Amino acid sequence: MPSAPVLLWFRQDLRLADHAALNAALATGRPVLAAYVLDTESAGRWAPGGASRWWLHHSLAALRRGLEAASAPLVLRRGESVAALCALAGESGAAEVYCGAALEPWARAVEERAHAALAARGVGLRRFRTATLFDPTAIRTRSGGAYGVYTPFARACFAAPPPPAPGRKPRRIPAPENVPRGEQLETWGLLPVAPDWAGGLREAWQPGEAGAHAALARFLDDAVGQYHQQRDLPARAATSRLSPHLHFGEISAATVWHAALAAGDGAGVRTFLQELLWREFSAHLLWHHPTLPEAPLRAGFAAMAWRDAPVEAGAWRRGRTGVPIVDAGMRQLWRTGWMHNRVRMIAASFLVKHLLIDWRVGQDWFWDTLVDADLASNAASWQWVAGSGADAAPFFRVFNPVLQGRKFDPDGAYVRRFVPELARLPAEHVHAPWEAPEAVLSAAGLTLGRDYPRPIVDLAAGRARALAALRAMTGGDDRTGGAR
């Protein structure tokens, strides 16, 4: 029927500009019914964590405002996705359902169930690429396989036809006459209440499509030119901070790609595009290796003798390890829902190698506390640090957090911001306060073990223990541990 609406199923593409499924729905000339389904049942273990729920609430509120400005409502439903979509299609008389194609294994399974259930009711399901630069099956090796190494993958992406130029936000979206009743976002309980721990998130972020475009504009105006030189310096505002906006699809990857290209062809832009392709590579890995979040890609790592050390893991989560750069990162994470990427690598390496704790413990904590908790990027990055993933850092390469701190936070500004107990220590001691003379500690008003913990592990001993575990896993060959 010509007047039968298209049901537009929003997922991780909470925007109106450059939205392929929305544009296709509008091109039909039919009314469009916009809907979002909160399906924690199907997501299971990978339902949004606490920080992601906070972001989702505000992102949906922003999407609702954007749709209302275009004269269209947003219908919200909770429950199992297939049942909710079938109900919405039946109540609205929708002829088709359009949506962005998912990457996560559980969400892909939902799509297949929805396709079958809707088809049985005479309703079609069409999927569009809304989350990545390229279709996850499009970038292939010469033999037609999946890439397992980033550099040739990135080279293939640069050589591929570029993503289409982004489309504009529609001014008006024709709504159907019959709009099914939806739920109130405020009743979903996505925001923390008792206690309200989200004050730091509110200070740090502006979720929603407008916030995404503002963040992109700031980055391109202020930081992209020096990105290649300053992106590893956590005390500087030198990164894009676009990761949560990209995860929730408040801005398309193509929009970011083309805007960066328009900013020039310098080293900063090139490095930033390479980082976008790291995100793309992670999506590629998850698509072709659906068990990436649960099992090591390199099968030999299944035999790694990880330690069960809940007390040490708890100190790591709280930013109380006694290693300043690690603690600063973990406290930044808790306060703002985000951690600088260089510090993520340092903190992850400390957990996996110095403490010899399973990478999945860290992955789960990041999943709950990051506003940009993305299943592909989170899993791929943790496996990279652990040496068990694709193109991974060899396990025997252990970041020394003191040297890393001194290199990338030389004056200690980042540490002092998030570990104020150490604010009065001079730069030469702020990354290793246990090495400071007693007179220096006293002048800084600092007593180790009282005001700030001593390290929970001797760094040299922790490194040696990790290498011993690697030798045991590999039968004495600690050069690669099955990693590159």
CA dist 213 and 242 (Å) reads 9
Give the distance from CA 32 to its chain's centroid. Answer: 30
Is the domain of 387 the same as that of 448?
yes
Question: 17 near 209, Cβ under 8 Å?
Answer: yes
Q: Are residues 373 and 414 in the same domain?
A: yes
Domains of the chain: total: 3
Are residues 229 and 213 part of one domain?
A: yes
**How far is residue 349's CA from residue 397's CA, in Å, rounded to a whole number?**
9
Per-residue tokens: 89: 């299609």
What pLDDT is stored for residue 484 in this prediction?
27
Residue that the structure tokens 């590579």 belong to: 281
Catalytic center residues: 275, 278, 306, 341, 359, 382
Q: Are residues 382 and 253 in the same domain?
A: no
Query: For position 391, what pLDDT does the model report?
Result: 79
In CATH, what number is assigned to the domain containing residue 263? 1.25.40.80
Does residue 236 belong to any structural domain of this protein? yes
Q: How many helices (H) and strands (E) does the chain have?
A: 22, 5
Indicate whether 369 and 305 sit together in one domain: yes
Q: Are residues 395 and 259 in the same domain?
A: no
Structure tokens at 361: 């413990």
484/393 Cα distance (integer angstroms) = 7
DSSP reduced 3-state for 89: helix
CA 306-309-310 angle, 5° bins: 130
Quick one: tokens of 94? 């929708």
User: Which of 288, 314, 342 corresponds to the end of one domain?
Assistant: 288
375 and 233 in a common domain: no
- Is there a single domain that holds both residue 319 and residue 283? no
Please state the pTM of the whole predicted model.
Answer: 0.96
Residue 76's beta-bridge partner residues?
Answer: 36
The string of DSSP codes covering 405-444 is HHHHSTT-HHHHHH-GGGTTS-HHHHT-GGGS-HHHHHHT
In a domain, 193, yes or no: no
> What pLDDT is recorded for position 481?
38
CATH code of the domain containing 388:
1.10.579.10
Alpha helices in 93-242 (DSSP H): 105-120, 150-159, 199-204, 209-222, 227-230
Burial class (CB in 10 A: 0-12, 13-18, 19+), 308: exposed
CATH number for the domain spanning 41: value is 3.40.50.620
Residue 478 is predicted with a pLDDT of 53
Q: Are residues 100 and 151 in the same domain?
A: no
Find where tokens 């390890």 sit.
Answer: 321
Q: Are residues 237 and 313 in the same domain?
A: no
List the chain pLDDT tens, one digit each, 484 residues.
458 999 999 999 999 999 999 999 999 999 999 999 999 999 999 999 999 999 999 999 999 999 999 999 999 999 999 999 999 999 999 999 999 999 999 999 999 999 999 999 999 999 999 999 999 999 999 999 999 999 999 999 999 999 999 988 999 999 999 999 999 999 999 999 989 999 999 999 999 999 999 999 999 999 999 999 999 999 999 999 999 999 999 999 999 999 999 999 999 999 999 999 999 999 999 999 999 999 999 999 999 999 999 999 999 999 999 999 999 999 999 999 999 999 999 999 999 999 999 999 999 999 999 999 999 999 999 999 999 998 767 888 899 999 999 999 999 999 999 999 999 999 999 999 999 999 999 999 999 999 999 999 999 999 999 999 999 999 876 554 333 2
The residue segments making up the domain with residue 227 are 132-164+209-288
